[in-house]
Each structure stands twice: as structure tokens, then as C-alpha cells.
Amino acid sequence: MSLLDPVLPDYDPMDWRRQPFDSRARLVCQSWALHGYGTPLPVFLAYLVKIGLYVGAWMLFCSMSPDLGGIGAIAEWWLEPLAFQKAIVWSMLFEALGLGCGSGPLTGRYAPPVGGFLYFLRPRTIKRPLVPGLPVVGGSRRGFFDVALYAAFVALSLAALLAPTIGIAHLVSILAVAAVLITADRTMFLVARGEHYLVTIAVFALASSQTEWIAGAMAVQAALWFFAGVSKLNHHFPAVVCVMTSNSPVARWPLLKKRMYRSYPDDLRPSGLATVLAHAGTALELAVPLTLFFAPAGSPMVLVGLAMMLLLHGFITSNVPMGVPIEWNVMVVYGGFALFWNHQTISVLDTGPVIGALVLACAVAVPIAGNLFPSQFSFLPSMRYYAGNWAMSIWLFRGDSYRKLYDHLTMTAPWIYDQLGRFYDRATAAALVGKVMAFRLMHLHGRSLGILVPRALPDGAELADYEWLDGELVAGMVLGWNFGDGHLHDERMLATIQRECDFASGELRCIFVESQPFFQPRLHYRVVDAREGELESGHLDIGELRSRQPWETP
């Protein structure tokens, strides 16, 4: 036994890989329900250490500002406006380096445990230009100019963090380079958590006073909570509660995990308890911004709002959700105190017209449009965090055709089984990758796969002929970053890969499923062959998916 040994399923993973979809799905979902991903305890401890390093680096950057003081005096300055500004810039840089969301084993990244800068500083890696074909920055391969842009973005962010104060020159230069960088690679907006950090930096830069930017930052943070709550007003979120609880390192009691499902092991739809917890979580997420928004200065309601905030983010963080947005949760909690506790006399209504327009456009209009027209917006700027209502894709590689990725693309991450092969035997690696299949199937949108996988396979082919890989893992290896955004690994990325790799007919089949729009009880799907193009498209009824088991086929 090793400290890195995962909790293995009670079936033979190599035999499991040869079974048809329904048998394979049933076994892996039943295993997830009791053991989650099976993550070894030291992996959770590694994430805890990473949080400590993230906070420690922020303290170091703040200690370089004479107006704040040294680390020993942190109790006196930790909520100061300059400390908050440095926290925002550092959090953005931390994410842009690939150290935050989408890092480590809980996002399918083992060796190396990060992508980020390993890709963004390497020429010839794949990128997603905002305007394909645009001169200089519109190519699908990263050039030296793209690398220089990213390096400049990192350098300018570091310069702001090392400076005694963050001035307008720091902010404008960061935003200017970020605008060109995002034009060259739209992925960078998501990587840097632009809907939060870049928008807040723009608030810093455009505000005419400290009061204005504090009010603007309050409005952005309140929008994060509010629209995250709004996005959970659906039938998807109860399944998220089930999947998260089953994978929790804290809730380790088998009886509790079984209670999350209607009748383990035969009915893995969310139970009444899971549904109640989902509704309670949604109410809590909506209550936090509303309470802090309407609470009078000095009122006990401010403490109530902050207590609810701690309960909300404490629950999320303690569950260590897949994708691991842990540092982001830490930043949001810190922002709650630095903004709403430390500046109770300032209201989100104290924004001037410029900041007000910016916040309305980026933190109100975009989330509303993203919920109404999810095919046109990433779930991140739409603020649909952990709602379970995400676009997704499944990539089916026939035989060893996946090797074409490594023959023709520039990547810094080995094939997923080769990464795991540095730590485990083949059977253990197969068990871990198989658990990603369970994670997808047990969400509401994943129950579409029992219908779509048989349609995606060529006539006469069996699932055992193909390597099943979630689009998240493909994006992580090809693009260097992944964090739940199915639009990163949709037909556009497939077309880029096909131009480079030239898969034959039937060698690579993909299933793309879009998010559910508000007020429309259906999901749009496409089945696509890398060479032949779209084979089928249509809609699936949410009501039907709710009635299905994760392994159920037509």
C-alpha cells in the first residue's frame, strides 16, 4: 500500500473496459456513489498546501507596500483597499499561470500537474483565436508574438504586485495587453477568470475615486453570488449535490452517501434529501448578496450576510469539488470581508455612471444573456458556477488513433494513461480514468449519453473498440487548460485538430451537448465525425432525462 493509492472500485477495470455501455456505466456510477473519484488523502493535502502558498505569496506582495506594513502587522492591514487590489491582481496572475482552477489530479492533470504557462510560453501549441484568420494573432498555433504577449502580461502583473502601490499605469497596461492577448486566444479570458478579476481591474482603472471602485467591486462580487444562485434554479443542481457529496473527503459515511440517491444501487437519481439540500443551497447563495445589499451600515444583518457567506463557501471548499476552484473561493470570502465588512458605509449604488455602465454590461447583461442563450456564452462569464447545467463533449478515439494527437500537435502533457503510468499500473489508471465517465454520467446532462453513444458508434462497432475520453481531458492536453467549459472542446477545436491530424472516417467521433437555456426544457446535441462532419443533431427533453438512470440505453 502507498499513500498515493486511490480507493479502487470492486470490479476488474480491465474487464470493465471490454463491457458494453450499459454494464460499464452501471458499475462505474455505483462505485462513484459510494467512493467518488477515490482520491488518495495526500492529494487533498497537496491542494491545502497550495492554498497556503497562494495566501502566503499575497502576504509577501502586500508586505512590499510601506503603506500596509510587514507580515507581522497583517491584522492591521489585511482588509485595506490596497491589500484587496493586490489580492485581485495576484489571483488573476495565479489563475493565468495555470496554478488555480483546472490544476492537479482532480481535473485530470497528473504529470505535469499544471498546464497553463507550460503551454502559453511554448510556440506551436494550439490556441483559440477570437477572430480566426486575423493577421498576426488569428492563427490556431501559438507564435512567438503570442508567447511574448503572455510573457508581457505576466511581467506587468508582477510589476504591479511588487510596486509600493498599484497605480493607473499598472492597471491600464495590464488591461491593454490582456485585450490583445484575449484576441489572440479567447481561452485566456477564461483562464484569468476575466468575468471576475479582469472586470474588477477595469473598475479600478476607470473609477474616479476610491469610493467608486469599492462600490464597483462590491457590485461585481454581489453579481457573482446572485447569478450563481439564479443559475441553480433548474433540475440539474440536485445531481451536482449527489456527485459532490459522494466525492467529499469530509462526508465519508456510506449511509449519508446512499441517502443522496433514491435507492442505491439501483436508482441513482437524486433523492428527496439531495433535492432539499440543493434548494437550500440555492436559497443561501441568493440570500448572501441580497442581505449584504440591503443591510444598513452597522446593522447585525451585515454579520448575518457574512455568516451565510462563510457557510456557503465553507461547504463548497470542504467538498473539494472537481475542477478545484479553491483559491477562487478563498478570494471571494476575503472579498466579502474586505468590501462589505470593511466598507459598510459604501453601497453598490455609489458607482458613478461609467462604473455603473461597466458593471451592468459585464456583470448583469452578460449573465442574463448567457442563461437565455447558453450556446453563445461560456458558463464562466454567464456565472453559472457549479449549477450542473454545462455544455459537454465526449470524444471517442478508435483504437490507438489518439496517437495522431502526439504525432501532429505540440503538447506538454502526455496521454492521460501515460501520465498515470508514472504512478500506477494500467488497471489502476483505467479505474481512475473510468471514474471521469461516472462524473459525467451522473449529472443530468450526462444521462443523454445512454441515448447518444449508440448513435455515435459506426455500424458494427462496439464501445470497446474506442477509447472514451471526456472533452475536459482532451482540452487539458491539447489547449493546456480546462475548467468545465464545453465550448473549449466543441466543433471548433475538433476542426483545428482535424486540420492537423487528419483522422480517417470513423476514427474520431464526438458527442456535443449544449447547456439548457432558461425557459426551454431541452438540450441541444450534435454527433460529429472528425472527417465527415455532423452526422446527427437534435434536442433531448429534460423531463425524459430526469426519468432515466445514468446507464440506461434506449
SS3 assignment for 474-542? HHHHHCCCCCCCHHHHCHHHHHHHHHHHCCCCCCEEEEEECCCCCCCCEEEEEEEECCCEEEEEEEEEH
Per-residue pLDDT, 124? 97
Q: In this structure, is residue 261 part of a structural domain? A: no
Band (322; pLDDT cuts 50, 70, 90): confident
Contact 223, 335 (CB under 8 A): no
Q: In this structure, is residue 473 part of a structural domain? A: yes
Number of domains comprising the chain:
1
Contact 421, 429 (CB under 8 A): yes
Per-residue pLDDT, 443? 97
Radius of gyration (C-alpha) of the chain in whole angstroms = 23
**Cα separation, 236 vs 526, whole angstroms:** 20
The answer, yes or no, to whether residue 434 has pLDDT greater than 70, is yes
- What confidence tens digit (pLDDT) does each residue in 362-396 have? 999 999 999 999 999 999 999 999 899 999 999 99
Residue 436, domain extent = 392-546
Q: In this structure, is residue 52 part of a structural domain? A: no
- What confidence tens digit (pLDDT) does each residue in 134-165 have? 999 999 999 999 999 999 999 999 999 999 99
Q: In this structure, is residue 456 part of a structural domain? A: yes
Per-residue pLDDT, 252? 84
Band (4; pLDDT cuts 50, 70, 90): confident
Per-residue pLDDT, 523? 97
Q: In this structure, is residue 57 part of a structural domain? A: no
The answer, yes or no, to whether residue 44 has pLDDT greater than 70, is yes
Q: In this structure, is residue 505 part of a structural domain? A: yes
Q: In this structure, is residue 117 part of a structural domain? A: no
Contact 316, 329 (CB under 8 A): yes
Average pLDDT of the residues in 39-51: 92
Q: In this structure, is residue 398 part of a structural domain? A: yes
Band (1; pLDDT cuts 50, 70, 90): low
- What confidence tens digit (pLDDT) does each residue in 264-312 have? 999 999 999 999 999 999 999 999 999 999 999 989 999 999 999 999 9
Query: Which phi and psi angles does 270 have, rounded to 5°?
Result: -60, 140
**Edge-first strand listing for the sheet containing 533-541:** 466-470, 392-398, 508-513, 522-529, 533-541
